[in-house]
Amino acid sequence: MSSHVRPTPLTDHHYDYVLSVGLREPEVLRRLREATALLPDGEWQTAPEQGPVLEMLLRLLNARRVLEVGTFTGYGTLWMALTLPPGGKVISLDVRPEFPAVGQPFWQEAGVSDRIDLRIAPAEKTMDALLAEGAAGSFDFAFIDADKENCVRYYEQCLALVRPGGIVAVDNTLWDGRPADSANNEASTRAIRELNARAFADERVHLCFLPFADGMTLAGKR
Ligand SMILES: C[S@@+](CC[C@H](N)C(=O)[O-])C[C@H]1O[C@@H](n2cnc3c(N)ncnc32)[C@H](O)[C@@H]1O
C-alpha cells in the first residue's frame, strides 16, 4: 500500500452531504434524473456529481462543439447543452432510440433541443463518418460513455475528432475496481484495463484520472 494520504471514504452519508453542498442541479435535470432512475437500466445514467464537472470543463474550454458517445436518456447531454452558448452543439451518439426518447421532452422543456444533434447508429460508424467528412480536430470536448468493450476504439476516434487543447473524458475507468483485479478477464474489464494503460502511456495527451463516481479519465490533447 502506498504511503500517501488516502482519499476520504465516501459513505452514503458523506455522499448525501457532497450532493447537498456541491450539486446545483437545475430542476429539469433533477426531474430527468428521477424519471431515468425508474427505468430498468436506470443505473446507467451519469452520476449527478459528474454534471458540474462536465459543466466546468466545458466552461473552461469555452466549448461550442461537443461529442458524446452514449446518450442513454440524455442526462449528461442536457447538462452539457445547458452549458453551451447559443449556436453550440452536442452531437450525441447512441444505438437505441428508445432511451433518448425518454429525455427528449426534457431537452425541449429546457429550451436547448436545438443544441442537441442526436445520431442513432453504432458510435464507431458515426465517428468514422464524421472523420470522413473532415470533422477531425473540430470538437472541443468528447465524453465517452457507451459500450465498454469498444472504449479503446472510441478513445482513438475521439482523440482524432478533438482539437489540440481539447479534452476527451472517459467514464467508468474505475469500473467498480475490476481492472485492478488481474483475475477478472471479462471483455469489458479487459477493454477498460487496456484503455487505462494506453492513456497512461499516451504522450499525445495530458492525463488526469479522477477517482470519483466510477472513475473518469481526462485526456487533454496536446
Ligand atoms: C452508460 S449509458 C450512457 C449514459 C449517459 N452518458 C448519461 O448521461 O446518462 C451507455 C449508452 O451507450 C449506448 N450504446 C451501447 N452500445 C453502443 C454503440 N455501439 N454505439 C452507440 N451507443 C451505444 C447504450 O444504448 C446506452 O444508452
158-183 per-position pLDDT tens digit: 999 999 999 999 999 999 999 999 99
- CA 69 – CA 143 distance, rounded (Å): 6
Instruction: Enumerate residue ranges in the chain where pLDDT < 70.
Output: 1-2
pLDDT of 1 = 55
Cα-to-centroid distance, 21 and ligand 1 (Å): 29
pLDDT of 2 = 61
| pTM reported for the whole predicted model | 0.97
Cα-to-centroid distance, 78 and ligand 1 (Å): 15
Tell which one of 93, 96, 216 to mutate to probe ligand 1, the residue whose CB is within 8 A of the most ligand atoms. 96
- CA 50 – CA 65 distance, rounded (Å): 19
> Which ligand 1 atom sits closest to the C-alpha of 77?
8
Tell which one of 25, 33, 145, 170 to mutate to probe ligand 1, the residue whose CB is within 8 A of the most ligand atoms. 145
Cα-to-centroid distance, 44 and ligand 1 (Å): 8
